[in-house]
Structure 1
Amino acid sequence: MNPVLRELVALGAGLVTRETARQVVPRWALQQACRSGDLVRVLPEVFVAAHLVAARPGTPALSRLDPALGQRAALAWAEGCGALSHLSALSAWGLRQQAVGELVHLSAPAGSGLRTRPGVVVHRRQGLILEPPQVVVRRGLTVTRVEQALVDSWPTLPPTERRAPVIRAVNDRLTTPERLAIALGNVPKLIGRAALRALLTRLADGCRSPLEIWGHEHVFTGPGMPAFRRQVPIRVGRRTMYLDMFAECEQVNIDLDGAATHGDPRQREVDLRRDALLATIGILVVRFAHRRLVHEADAVRRETLAILATRRAGAIA
């Protein structure tokens, strides 16, 4: 390969466009690099170092790249006329890992000349403006805003995988249930819209995990249950803690231990110290494991009601 072109490819972390190459090397240098197998054309006018293209015959060249490189290649091809969207945007936002071989999704204004090609899907949208707030730069990539990406991706994901990116986005403070509800309101015919709206309601109530949502829907609502406050900040000395489900009148906090924390002795020690600290100000912490909450919902409900009744009776006495 021409040494100047080789350096240019290295500067582009394995990627070069025809427009960039023609500014520093003769046209034949790019053609020769492709003929010799040093470069592979993955999209019109976009080339990638051959060693970065996996050998999977019958698969579009773009789909044989590492997902991050594939996204960069698609944006280079779009030349500022499109932004990563849908599942590709979720990857750019760090909310979902894109698998090798997945299509790259771009959104472009309705009047743009971009069209779907092997390895890349182009979604043409009326009213899309490739500027903030509709489109932002994330990790050096042009991407649709997180609310739009989450709503767009909802019907694309398998039902069992839809909730996780939304919950993570809220927990990581990339967005809020309220902003997501506004974005959802702009897509009245979204497939699975009712389920997403229900999830946003749970998140707005303060639920912050699938287990908390399960508990809210199947255990901790109904006759006898107080109106639990969720994610309540409590300060003890110099430390601020957030209570999962706080019954203020009874001074009881319900903590739900996820499956991932079960059996972790370090996490158990942290939890015990936290519970002891809350006990110094009169707050009783009651913990339910993932297994019990899911498989013994009725028993957990009865125990919770009994504990709350005992605390109320103690307060009166």
Structure 2
Amino acid sequence: MNPVLRKLVERGGGLVTRVAAEQVVPEWTLQRACGNGDLVRVLPGVFVAAHLLDGRRRGIPAISRVDPGVGHRAVSAWAAGRGALSHLSALDVWGLRRQVPGQPLHLSAPAAAGLRSRPGVVVHRRRGFDLEPPQVVARRGLTVARLEQALVDSWPLLPTDERRAPVIRAVNDRMTTPDRLVLALQSVPKLAGRAVLRTLLTRLAEGCRSPLEIWGHEQVFTGPGMPVFRRQARVRVGRRTMYLDLLAERERVNIELDGATTHGNLREREIDLHRDALLATLDILVVRFAHRRLVHEPDEVRRETLAILARRRSMSG
């Protein structure tokens, strides 16, 4: 490859556009690099170093044979400011879910932008879509749809058992809020699976912060006899702040829902024991239920919880 062109490709992380290349080398130099197999055209006017393509996956579009990270940059270069990465591609850029190699890349664009879907790239043309904040933001040097819209748009594209994780993580990491997601959901009234997403957002707004807490809320800790628990209740003991999964304020009982991998070592167990001891100084009784019991013995867990709550009420009375 021409040394000037090689340096340009290297500076671009293995990617170069026709416009950029022809500013420093003649057109035939780029054509020769493609003819020699050094560069591969992955989109109109966008070329990638051949060694970045997966040689095992032939028979599919070239853009689908590169790592999604390279693919996202290629799509952005092709769009040239006329669109923003969206849907599953946006989730990847936001760091919430790695896009699977070979999956179509997604771009949203104004209806009048003139961009059309291509093999390996899905263009979502939207009326009223504005390529300015707050509808789009710059992230990792790429123009990307705002987080809330990306999460809502991606919901029906994900396997059913993988849909909740990016939403829960985004809320837990304080990247967004359930209220902001509800507003984004209102803009897509015909979204497939809309009712399930709306229920998830309700649970998150109520304080649930994991699939296990949602399971507990829906299957165990609501209904006759159960108090209205405070979820993720904030409690301070001295200089330490703790957040309790479920707190029955009248009975001073904290229900902790331990995940499947919790207490994998002695150190974690010691941390929990110290935490429980601190809460005892506030007369808060900690009751822990393991993932296995919550999922496989919900009726027994419910009976035990009701008995503990009744006992605490009788003691305080």
TM-score, normalized by the shorter chain, greater than 0.5: yes
Following superposition, the deviation at residue 112 of structure 1 comes to 0.9
**Alpha-carbon distance in structure 1 between the residues aligned to 2:11 and 2:77:** 14
Determine whether 1:50 maps to 2:50. yes
Q: Specify the SS of the correspondent of 1:233.
A: strand
1:247 paired residue number? 248
Give the corresponding residue for 1:6. 6
Deviation at 1:137, TM superposition (A): 1.0
- Which residue does the alignment assign to 1:192? 193
Match of 1:260 in 2: 261
- Secondary structure of the 1:302 match is helix
Using the TM superposition, give the Cα deviation of residue 263 of structure 1 relative to its aligned residue in structure 2, in angstroms: 3.0
Describe the SS at the equivalent of 2:180: helix
Aligned to 2:41: 41
Shift of 1:189: 0.9
Judge conservation of contact 1:54–1:65 (CA < 8 Å) in 2: yes
Following superposition, the deviation at residue 90 of structure 1 comes to 0.8
Q: Tell me the residue number matched to 1:208.
A: 209
Q: Distance in 2 between matches of 1:66 and 1:3?
A: 25
Instruction: Judge which range, 21-30 or 124-133, deviates more.
Output: 21-30
Which residue does the alignment assign to 2:66?
Answer: 65
Partner residue of 2:220? 219
Q: 2:306 aligns to what?
A: 305
Deviation >4 Å, runs of 4+ = none
C-alpha separation between the residues in 2 aligned to 1:127 and 1:109? Answer: 7
TM-score (normalised: structure 1): 0.98
Partner of 2:21: 21
Q: Please identify, of 266-275 and 91-100, the stretch whose mean Cα deviation from structure 2 is larger.
A: 266-275
CA contact (8 A) 1:19 1:45 kept: yes
Q: Could you tell me which residue of structure 1 aligns to residue 106 of structure 2?
A: 105
> What TM-score results when the alignment is normalised by the length of structure 2?
0.98
Shift of 1:260: 2.2
CA contact (8 A) 1:108 1:123 kept: yes
Number of residues of Structure 1 aligned to a counterpart in Structure 2: 316
Q: Secondary structure at the match of 1:286?
A: strand
Q: Alpha-carbon deviations, 1:68-88, whole Å to 9, x = none?
A: 001110110000111111111
Q: Does 1:122 align with 2:123?
A: yes
Gaps of 5+ in 1: none
Equivalent residue letter for 1:149: A
Q: Does structure 2 conserve the Cα–Cα contact (< 8 Å) formed by 1:219 and 1:300?
A: yes
Listed one character per residue, the Cα deviations across residues 117-139 of structure 1 (whole Å, up to 9, x for unaligned) are: 11110000000001100000122
Cα distance, 1:167 vs. partner?
A: 0.6
- The offset of 1:266, in angstroms, is 2.5
2:11 maps to amino acid: L
* Contact 1:63 1:102 (8 Å CA) reproduced: yes
> Take 2:187 and 2:309, find their aligned partners in 1: how far apart are those partners?
42
Unaligned runs of 5+ in 2: none
In structure 1, the residue corresponding to 2:261 is in which secondary structure?
helix
Q: Please state whether the residue corresponding to 1:287 is helix, strand or coil.
A: strand
User: How far did residue 158 of structure 1 move?
Assistant: 1.6
Given residue 47 of structure 1, which amino acid in structure 2 is its aligned partner? F
| Residue 262 of structure 1: how far off its partner (Å) | 4.6
Query: Once the 2 structures are TM-superposed, how far is the Cα of residue 264 of structure 1 from its aligned partner?
Result: 3.2
Q: 1:238 to 1:262 in 2, by over 3 A?
A: closer
Partner amino acid, structure 2, of 1:48: V
CA contact (8 A) 1:246 1:254 kept: yes
Q: Distance in 2 between matches of 1:280 and 1:289?
A: 24
